[in-house]
């Protein structure tokens, strides 16, 4: 009796384990439909910085390295098979995968890596690269053979390996770039798991499984369709199962509604987010060329009260400086409250702000505040900021623009905005990435403020080359203090990411960045 019971329970355990294994082993086939709440402004990875681009486009491309989404922030090879870093930290050697093909059937070699990174760090005339600053420390790129590439650095850079895993650094075909350096702006042609099928503006973007993809057996999906839909219709589509996911993030209200509607079909994942909303002042325009005006506007923002209240209705939650709160190189709360605009005594801060505006000769300041028309979290934070400024007698006119017009208004060559709600989102916690918006205009491709501040540049360079964590931390506090005093760009509230997916969507893992883990190579449908 006892033996038969034991055998029965053993059989049951084996069956359960078998069932679980069967459920967890990836199945092939199916079309993944997901929502994207905005459209890509063009097709070039190197010139983009929005989720609206990366979610539909990333599955077409590969990068040299990539983040292992399931074990974030661990890095693994994508086009690189293996790599070594020299002891002095100045030479990075990558061995590339064999037999990789582009979607047009041409062979991938080290020349493609060189052409891609040359374009990123030194874009030819007419080509826009938002990552010039990231690769400024590279002195040369050598290709001793078709499957080896060697990067040599001018000086040590603490974030270089992570940079090679950047999801923005799509590898392009050297041959195509030679014919036309602007080829990627209008064409999609990579080595990624999915080939491009079509982009119907205002409707959808589709990709089909690339049969020649270098990872055998992947991708699992037959294809994907990114449907451009936002706001309530997007939540409705998700609730109805017309789309299985939206990978950027949901507001608390949307999360609650989806969980209520989908019940046990919903899978909720959440994480702190390497994203903050920052106010960028156009320092080339009066009165924002005056530090007193910028600082006054920062001083009037009740970040602590705002974060607590907005967390109930928007996807923002944390107060932080230039680095994500909670990250080991970020300022502690004790340090933070010492900075202008971060004091918990908001009345004293606002009194000081009014005084500064008076001194600057603009006590009744009025300006146009440019914002994106992406509802979450831009609209609530925009409304919050306008209210904060009203409390010191400042009138900000809210101008919410479609993504393309918003980016055009903030163009580096001819910025037309006064002040804007900008985002500072990175694919990982790393000062060299997070500080790009704060360093001088001539050194950063994402500085929209237009300021030149050599003191900040010097502090940035020092921390970038500093391998001792304690010393780097101290340098970062100096940088943070100066940047918040000068207030060219001021952080407001940091985000919190929540994703609700349907249960049948498998192989996708949340990370603190909505840019990472979006090549869909490991995603499958349990159907």
Binding site for other proteins (CB under 8 A): 231-232, 251, 253-254, 257, 305, 308-309, 312-313, 373, 375, 379-380, 382-384, 386-387, 390, 397-400
* Nearest residue (CB) to other proteins, 13 versus 232: 232
CB of 358 to other proteins, least distance (A): 23
What is d(CA 31, CA 206) in angstroms, rounded to the nearest whole number? 10
* Nearest residue (CB) to other proteins, 93 versus 373: 373
* Nearest residue (CB) to other proteins, 401 versus 474: 401
Would you call the peptide bond into 70 cis, given omega within 30 degrees of 0 as the criterion? no
| Distance (Å) of CA 193 to CA 107, 172, 209, 274, 505 | 15, 14, 6, 26, 17
3-state secondary structure of 31: strand
Sign of CA dihedral 178, 181, 187, 189: positive
* Nearest residue (CB) to other proteins, 187 versus 379: 379
* Nearest residue (CB) to other proteins, 127 versus 410: 410
* Nearest residue (CB) to other proteins, 398 versus 412: 398
CB of 306 to other proteins, least distance (A): 8
CB of 399 to other proteins, least distance (A): 7
Write b or e for each residue in 438-456: b if 16 or more Cβ atoms lie within 10 A of its Cβ, otherwise e: bbbbebbbbbbbbbebeeb
Contact between residue 96 and residue 158 where contact means Cβ atoms under 8 Å apart? no
Q: Partners of 268 in the beta sheet?
A: 500
CA dihedral 270, 273, 277, 278 (to 10 degrees): 160
* Nearest residue (CB) to other proteins, 17 versus 309: 309
Choose among 334, 47, 382: nearest CA to 182.
47
What is d(CA 277, CA 309) in angstroms, rounded to the nearest whole number? 16
CB of 363 to other proteins, least distance (A): 20
CB of 402 to other proteins, least distance (A): 9
CB of 400 to other proteins, least distance (A): 5
Write b or e for each residue in 82-95: b if 16 or more Cβ atoms lie within 10 A of its Cβ, otherwise e: ebeeeeebbebbbb
Q: What is the CA radius of gyration of the chain?
A: 24
CB of 54 to other proteins, least distance (A): 23
| Distance (Å) of CA 190 to CA 53, 68, 123, 412, 519 | 15, 20, 19, 28, 12
How many other C-beta atoms can be found within 10 angstroms of the C-beta atom of residue 501? 23
* Nearest residue (CB) to other proteins, 208 versus 398: 398
Q: Are strands 223-228 and 31-36 parallel, antiparallel or unpaired?
A: parallel
CB within 8 A of 380, min separation 6: which ones? Answer: 310, 313, 314, 316
* Nearest residue (CB) to other proteins, 67 versus 369: 369
Q: Partners of 319 in the beta sheet?
A: none
CB of 344 to other proteins, least distance (A): 15
What is d(CA 33, CA 410) in angstroms, rounded to the nearest whole number? 32
* Nearest residue (CB) to other proteins, 29 versus 231: 231
CB of 515 to other proteins, least distance (A): 25
* Nearest residue (CB) to other proteins, 408 versus 474: 408
Query: Dihedrals φ, ψ of 357, to 5°?
Result: -65, -40
What is d(CA 225, CA 205) in angstroms, rounded to the nearest whole number? 6
CB of 504 to other proteins, least distance (A): 26
Look up tokens 């922030």; give the residue. Answer: 73
CB of 14 to other proteins, least distance (A): 45
* Nearest residue (CB) to other proteins, 399 versus 458: 399
CB of 312 to other proteins, least distance (A): 6
CB within 8 A of 290, min separation 6: which ones? Answer: 360
């Amino acid at each position: 009796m006892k033996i038969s019971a034991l055998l029965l329970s053993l059989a049951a355990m084996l069956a359960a384990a078998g069932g679980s294994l069967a459920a967890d082993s990836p199945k092939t086939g199916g079309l993944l439909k997901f929502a994207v709440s905005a459209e890509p402004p063009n097709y070039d990875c190197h010139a983009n910085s929005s989720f609206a681009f990366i979610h539909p486009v990333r599955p077409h491309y590969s990068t040299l390295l990539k983040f292992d989404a399931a074990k974030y922030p661990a890095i693994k090879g994508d086009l690189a098979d293996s790599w070594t870093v020299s002891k002095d930290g100045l030479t990075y050697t990558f061995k590339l995968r064999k037999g990789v093909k582009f979607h047009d059937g041409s062979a991938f070699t080290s020349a493609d890596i060189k052409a891609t990174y040359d374009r990123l760090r030194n874009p030819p005339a007419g080509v826009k690269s938002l990552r010039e600053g990231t690769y400024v420390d590279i002195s040369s790129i050598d290709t001793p053979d078709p499957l080896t590439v060697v990067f040599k650095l001018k000086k040590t850079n603490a974030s270089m390996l992570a940079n090679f895993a950047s999801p923005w650094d799509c590898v392009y075909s050297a041959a195509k770039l030679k014919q036309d350096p602007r080829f990627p702006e209008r064409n999609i042609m990579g080595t990624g798991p999915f080939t491009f099928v079509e982009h119907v503006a205002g409707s959808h973007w589709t990709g089909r499984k690339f049969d020649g993809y270098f990872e055998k057996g992947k991708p699992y999906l037959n294809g994907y369709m990114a449907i451009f839909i936002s706001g309530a219709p997007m939540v409705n589509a998700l609730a109805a199962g017309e789309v299985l996911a939206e990978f950027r993030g949901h507001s608390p209200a949307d999360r609650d509604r989806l969980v209520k509607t989908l019940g046990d079909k919903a899978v909720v994942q959440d994480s702190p987010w390497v994203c903050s909303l920052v106010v960028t002042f156009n320092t080339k325009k009066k009165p924002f060329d005056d530090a007193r005006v910028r600082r006054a506007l920062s001083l009037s923002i009740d970040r602590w009260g705002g974060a607590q209240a907005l967390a109930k209705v928007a996807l923002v939650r944390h107060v932080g400086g230039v680095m994500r709160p909670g990250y080991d190189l970020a300022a502690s709360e004790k340090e933070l409250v010492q900075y202008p605009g971060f004091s918990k005594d908001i009345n004293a801060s606002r009194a000081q702000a009014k005084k500064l505006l008076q001194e600057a000769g603009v006590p009744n300041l009025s300006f146009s505040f440019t914002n994106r028309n992406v509802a979450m979290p831009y609209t609530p934070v925009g409304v919050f900021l306008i209210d904060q400024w009203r409390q010191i007698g400042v009138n900000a006119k809210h101008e919410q623009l479609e993504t393309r017009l918003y980016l055009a208004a903030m163009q580096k060559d001819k910025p037309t905005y006064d002040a804007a709600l900008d985002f500072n989102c990175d694919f990982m916690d790393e000062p060299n990435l997070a500080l790009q918006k704060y360093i001088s205009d001539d050194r950063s491709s994402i500085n929209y403020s237009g300021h030149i501040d050599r003191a900040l540049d010097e502090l940035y360079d020092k921390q970038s080359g500093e391998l001792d964590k304690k010393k780097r931390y101290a340098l970062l506090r100096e940088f943070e203090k100066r940047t918040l005093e000068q207030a060219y760009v001021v952080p407001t509230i940091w985000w919190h990411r929540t994703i609700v997916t349907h249960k049948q969507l498998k192989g996708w893992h949340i990370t603190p960045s909505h840019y990472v883990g979006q090549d869909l190579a490991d995603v499958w449908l349990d159907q």
